[in-house]
Amino acid sequence: MLKIIVTSLFVQDQDKALQFYTETLGFVKKHDVPAGKFRWITVVSPDAQDGTELVLEPNDHPAAKEYQKKLVADGIPATMFGVADIQEEYVRLSEKGVKFTMVPTKMGPFSIAVLDDTCGNLIQIIQQ
The DSSP line for 34-102 is EETTEEEEEEE-TT-TTS-EEEEEE--SHHHHHHHHHHHHTT--SEEEE-S-HHHHHHHHHHTT--EEE
pLDDT score for 60 = 94
- Output the pLDDT for position 92: 98
Please tell me the total count of domains within the chain.
Answer: 1
Task: Write the pLDDT tens digit of every residue in 14-50.
Answer: 999 999 999 999 999 999 999 999 999 999 999 999 9
Task: Answer whether residue 92 is part of any domain.
Answer: yes
What average pLDDT does this structure show over 53-71? 96
90 in a structural domain = yes
pLDDT of residue 38: 96
Taking the C-alpha atoms of residue 89 and residue 86, their distance in angstroms, rounded to an integer, is 5
Residue 5 pLDDT: 96
Is the pTM higher than 0.85? The answer reads yes
CATH code of the domain in which 63 resides: 3.10.180.10
**CB atoms < 10 A from the CB of 2, how many?**
4
Q: What is the DSSP letter of 27?
A: -
User: Quick count: other Cβ atoms within 10 Å of Cβ 9?
Assistant: 20
Over residues 62-68, the mean pLDDT reads 96
Whether 40 is covered by a domain: the verdict is yes
In this structure, is residue 1 part of a structural domain? no
What is the structure's pLDDT at 13? 97
Domain range holding 79?
Answer: 6-127
C-alpha 78/C-alpha 119 separation (Å) is: 11
